[in-house]
Amino acid sequence: MRPFAAVQPLMRRVNNEDRWDFVGSCFRLWSPNQYITAAHCIQDAKPDQLKVFNVFPNGDFRCKNILRHPAADIAVIQIEGNVPKEYERFSITDKCDFGYPIHCFGYADDRMLTLCADNARVIGGIIQRQFVYNDGTYISPAFELSAPIPKGTSGGPAFLADDPQFAIGVAIASIQSQIVVSQLEYHEENGHCEKETISEITRYGVILNFGAKNIKAWLEDNLGGGKNNV
């Protein structure tokens, strides 16, 4: 599996302008003309506002339909036409447990760079736990990754580091943990007291879990082209 051949930037047309903004990453599973992304990347976009960036000279892939999961942070984009054979597809696996080494791949949101290899990122970490991630809009069965997910790589795949053809989910967010290391109090006159707190903040990645029953069933119901699971 070659990440650059399996993951593409996702673009959204700016309202009332002839301009497209980069909004996240996307990739394919077993369906030849449907891309997976994070639902928050596209938000309320209509099909004619989305396209998948194509590095080959025959034009970008315009979206003709969008399928959004009713609860979780995942969506399927159906495109017009055919994807060149140079692009690859992932298989999925639910064989993932605590401590597994995982890689994520996507295009970081760096306005100073063009959409090319210069701003693509491989993020590596291990699975630390399973949990339900609720960001106030989406409720997603998830893995916690030991490394944070940079902005822009949301919607990209998370896959087994030692067998990268197998995806375990979609990179969707970063969260942080804060631990108070020390706390000092300064007493002043007239009853005023100042406090100084030193905290240690650690950021982790969030990966939507393909192996969760409600996600796996939804993918099987909404992706054409047969099934490709292990």
**pLDDT on residue 183:** 64
Is 229 part of any domain? no
What is the number of domains present in the chain?
A: 2
Question: Any idea of the CA torsion for 200, 201, 202, 207, to the nearest 10 degrees?
Answer: 160
Q: Tell me, yes or no, whether 109 and 169 share the same domain.
A: yes
Is 105 part of any domain? yes
For 70, 142, 148, 173, 188, the CA distances from 138, given in Å and listed in that order, are: 9, 11, 19, 11, 47
Q: Which residues contact 156 (CB under 8 A, 6 or more apart)?
A: 7, 24, 25, 26, 27, 104, 105, 106, 107, 170, 171
Q: Tell me, yes or no, whether 63 and 124 share the same domain.
A: no
Q: Tell me, yes or no, whether 41 and 106 share the same domain.
A: no
Last residue of a domain, one of 79, 99, 114: 79
Reference 118, options 129, 131, 109; nearest CA is 109
Q: Tell me, yes or no, whether 101 and 129 share the same domain.
A: yes
Q: Tell me, yes or no, whether 122 and 61 share the same domain.
A: no
The C-alpha atoms of residue 152 and residue 10 are separated, in whole angstroms, by: 9
Question: Digits of tens for pLDDT over the chain (230 positions)?
Answer: 677 789 999 999 988 778 889 999 999 999 999 999 999 999 999 999 999 998 777 789 999 999 999 999 999 999 998 888 889 999 999 888 899 999 999 988 765 445 555 678 899 999 999 999 999 999 999 999 999 998 889 999 999 999 999 999 999 999 977 665 566 666 666 767 777 777 667 889 999 999 999 999 999 999 975 566 54
**pLDDT on residue 112:** 42
The C-alpha atoms of residue 71 and residue 213 are separated, in whole angstroms, by: 13
At 95, which CATH number?
Answer: 2.40.10.10
Give the global pTM. Answer: 0.86
Q: Tell me, yes or no, whether 54 and 129 share the same domain.
A: no
Is 143 part of any domain? yes
Is 197 part of any domain? no
Is 131 part of any domain? yes
Q: Tell me, yes or no, whether 73 and 98 share the same domain.
A: no
Q: Tell me, yes or no, whether 56 and 104 share the same domain.
A: no
Q: Tell me, yes or no, whether 96 and 144 share the same domain.
A: yes
Rounded to the nearest angstrom, the gap between the alpha carbon of residue 70 and the centroid of all alpha carbons in its chain is: 17
Expressed as residue numbers, the domain containing 23 is 3-79
Q: Tell me, yes or no, whether 34 and 99 share the same domain.
A: no
**pLDDT on residue 113:** 46
Q: Tell me, yes or no, whether 159 and 119 share the same domain.
A: yes
**pLDDT on residue 200:** 66
Reference 205, options 141, 132, 142, 136; nearest CA is 142
Is 187 part of any domain? no
The C-alpha atoms of residue 131 and residue 100 are separated, in whole angstroms, by: 16
**pLDDT on residue 118:** 60
Is 226 part of any domain? no
The C-alpha atoms of residue 218 and residue 216 are separated, in whole angstroms, by: 5
Q: Tell me, yes or no, whether 75 and 26 share the same domain.
A: yes
Is 157 part of any domain? yes
